[in-house]
Chains A and B, each alone.
Chain A
Amino acid sequence: MPAIEIKNLKKYFRKVKAVDGISLAVEKGEIFGFLGPNGAGKTTTIRCMMDFIRPTEGKINILGFDARKNSVELKKNIGYLSSDIYLYDEWTGREHIDFAASIKGPSPRLVSLIKRLDFNPKAKVKTLSTGNKQKLNIILALLGNPDILILDEPTRGLDPLLQNEIYAILQEFQKEGKTIFLSSHNLPEVERICGRVGIIRQGKIAAVERIGDVKSKSMHTGHISFEGAFNKNDFLAEGFAITSENANGFFFTIRGEINPFLNTLAKYRVKDFEIAHANLEDIFLTFYK
């Protein structure tokens, strides 16, 4: 039995089809990445899973229970983190924690978590930085020893060091046999910690793949300027494409391996060079049309 099973989920806001018939299953003990650009329907799907909003059609089962009918029982076993920071400005972190714990029950890892995230629970939320608010959100999500974590962009607003700490915490959860459903629009993040990934675009599932298969679809974009003459044909290889040219160089995209391109580039004197991971929308347009 899958830990999370979504069948033909649809959520329409009048004429807007925010989610349009998605189906997927997440196995127990898995870190499942839910990947898609902004506005793809990730948060809407998660809100339906949490019973914050009601599906137009379709069914969601979590741990074998209907996510709507058994919502209260299920939430004892679900840790949730929202994509935006929704906290009470006038409360301190401690007040948030105590309030949630009084309903959800105590958390065995609360003290260590506060220490690990270097969070000051005495400060009022309105005085906290975005990163500290996100730390509090994460602490709240992990309260009560949940079996399933549903996290909507958990590392948003966190610096790289804290992102690494969050990844470590999530991997520890997974080792305890817990299931993690994590949405993101950050492909490297998903590649790093997820076993499988569901790719959502325009409210529909474009693909559900193992992370290895997604990695093979990695894509880079960049720009290069040469100091002297150059022959663009030297660079032509499978997966390489020039998107635009100018007198000194060109803009390019590379699908898959970048080493052949770098080996060719080493033969030239370079004036300026820039390369980055392609954004999700570019990847989707290339691989999941």
Chain B
Amino acid sequence: MKRWVSAAIAVWLAPGAASAQGLDVAIAHSYLSAKSLGQPATFFLVGAEHEPTLSEIDGSILLRGGWGASGFWETGARALAGSARTKPERVYGAVARATWDLDPVGLTIASEYEADGSFAVEKGVLSAELTPQGGPRGLGRPWNRTVPFRWRPWLGAGVGNVFDASGSEDPERDSFFRAYTRLEATYTPTHWDIGAEGTLWAVEGSVGTRSHARGTVGFEIASGVSFDVTGEIGRQPPSFLYEQSFKMGFGFHHPFERGTKPPPANR
């Protein structure tokens, strides 16, 4: 079965956890970008009079380990699900990827399996994406000492295969190629995290582009716990169904970087 091709690539990419320089784990909104990894996984309850209370969970878990001097590997899963979303609107994914510091850019090669909630749409994507590590003002670092605003662009491309029949709104059929650019921006005054992330896909097929934008305002209640307001609009893989939502809920975030002292070098 073709879906096992992804799994095989995933296993290949998760190289010798053996070479272990230790493992670390993160729980966050999504593993799709650094911005998303910096945001909490969220749990929302949606209520209305005379209506059952619905829920939504949007989160990911990612394991990371070292790979040689200039790289590291990651593997994980994500879910955007819950009773507040219809099955076609739900998104599940699993990824294995490796990243290298190619100063002045970071390169990530990823293999991802993505599916909707009813598994009517299933895809495997092998992609590469680049981000400059530094550059103009605000790229990866604060705009200045008093304005904690920073941004980061990404450029990526992927080839994939549709394992299962695509939905009618999905421009990707059978084998496909997609290129994308993502821009993320964050403003982080004390206790607050105000962020926006927009992605534009150029998709092979009759329809040229798809886009998705997400904005979040988070207030840190306690370490790792926040109150979040999120708005989303647009279409995103795997099914590219149009969505528009505005939600409030609680977020949980366990970032990478345990903050332990680095081990002394072996001498």
Do A and B share a complex?
no
